[in-house]
């Protein structure tokens, strides 16, 4: 329908989230995927959770530091939802409305996998998301996967014994997180694509690009 002056055009970018457990290489791959998209002519706003806006970064400090027992699972779920509400309102939604692509390192599925494993049910997490962020979901979620235990080993090496409140938890916790990600991916196959995170960084980035091929201009 767009006229010659381009006045009528779709002003909506694609919202992509990257998810996975500890040590799957998510942060590295977020940067690499952004570079690969830019090379294809797609400008992306790169962001992360918890954080990504001034208010959400302040909440991130509360969430990531201190004793594992600092927050109850309920308080923690509310803090993640509050951080996300600010991030969506101040950064993600304005970018999408301006037609930009947004690439987010972790989003709602991390809350479902991490807090969901601690007795907060999925429906409650989604209800908080509906209230805080109008239920905004990514157009595509890329779930990086590694065989059980492999990611934790990588994370231990990376963190050199100074893990944050989440990395510090035991292997049982991380196995629960992986199982929860699996269940969500099985249930929401239209949105979520599993991507094998093993092999060279280049190979992984290639697989991520393949998993976005239908969205690329
Ligand atoms: P981060 O420093 O981003 O590390 P990484 O993503 O490389 O693991 O740590 C974020 C931590 O917060 C991570 O352990 C997962 C956890 N988390 C939740 O528990 N719930 C959430 O909703 C989000 C976004 C993160």
pLDDT digits (tens, 9 = 90+) for 161-170: 677 787 667 8
Q: Give every CB contact of residue 48 below 8 A, 6+ residues apart in sequence.
A: 27, 30, 104, 105, 106
What's the 151 CA to ligand 1 centre distance in angstroms? 14
Closest ligand 1 atom, residue 166 Cα: 14
**Angle (nearest 5°) at CA 214 between 212 and 217:** 95
The overall pTM is greater than 0.75: yes
Q: What pLDDT band is residue 189 in, cutting at 50, 70 and 90?
A: very high
What's the 11 CA to ligand 1 centre distance in angstroms? 30
**Tokens 């791959």 appear where?**
29
Closest ligand 1 atom, residue 63 Cα: 12
Residue 114 Cβ inside 6 Å of ligand 1? The answer reads yes
Contact 99, 13 (CB under 8 A): yes
Residue 60 Cβ inside 6 Å of ligand 1? The answer reads no
Q: What is the pLDDT of residue 3?
A: 35
Instruction: Take atom 10 of ligand 1 and give the residue whose Cα is closest.
Output: 50
Residue 110 Cβ inside 6 Å of ligand 1? The answer reads yes
Q: What is the mean pLDDT of residues 27-31?
A: 97
Residue 106 Cβ inside 6 Å of ligand 1? The answer reads yes
Q: What pLDDT band is residue 119 in, cutting at 50, 70 and 90?
A: confident
> Is residue 137 packed enough to be buried (19+ CB in 10 Å), middle (13-18) or exposed (0-12)?
middle
Q: Is the pLDDT of residue 10 over 50?
A: no
Percent of the chain with pLDDT over 90: 77
Q: What is the pLDDT of residue 203?
A: 98
Q: What is the pLDDT of residue 155?
A: 78
Number of C-alpha atoms within 13 angstroms, CB side, residue 72?
A: 4
Percent of the chain with pLDDT over 70: 93
Q: Domains in the chain, please, with CATH?
A: 15-211 (3.40.50.300)
Q: Give every CB contact of residue 35 below 8 A, 6+ residues apart in sequence.
A: none
What's the 64 CA to ligand 1 centre distance in angstroms? 8
Q: What is the pLDDT of residue 9?
A: 40
Q: What is the mean pLDDT of residues 44-63?
A: 98
Q: Which of 24, 15, 16 is nearest to 142 (CA)?
A: 16
Contact 133, 88 (CB under 8 A): yes
Q: Give every CB contact of residue 8 below 8 A, 6+ residues apart in sequence.
A: 1, 2
């Amino acid at each position: 329908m767009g006229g010659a002056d381009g006045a009528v055009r779709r002003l909506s970018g694609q919202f992509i989230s990257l998810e996975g457990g500890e040590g799957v290489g998510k942060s590295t791959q977020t940067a690499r995927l952004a570079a690969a998209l830019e090379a294809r002519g797609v400008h992306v706003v790169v962001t992360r959770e918890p954080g990504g806006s001034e208010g959400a970064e302040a909440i991130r400090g509360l969430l990531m530091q201190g004793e594992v027992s600092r927050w109850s699972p309920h308080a923690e779920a509310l803090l993640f939802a509050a951080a996300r509400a600010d991030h969506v309102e101040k950064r993600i939604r304005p970018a999408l409305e301006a037609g930009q692509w947004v690439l987010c390192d972790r989003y709602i599925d991390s809350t479902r996998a991490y807090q969901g494993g601690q007795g907060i049910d999925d429906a409650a997490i989604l209800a908080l998301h509906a209230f805080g962020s109008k239920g905004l979901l990514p157009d595509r979620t890329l779930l990086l996967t590694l065989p059980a235990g492999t990611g934790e080993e990588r994370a231990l090496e990376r963190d050199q014994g100074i893990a944050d409140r989440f990395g510090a938890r035991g292997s049982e916790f991380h196995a629960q997180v992986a199982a929860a990600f699996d269940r969500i991916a099985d249930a929401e196959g239209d949105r979520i694509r599993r991507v094998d995170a093993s092999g060279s960084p280049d190979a992984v980035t290639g697989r991520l690009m393949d998993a976005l091929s239908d969205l690329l201009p």
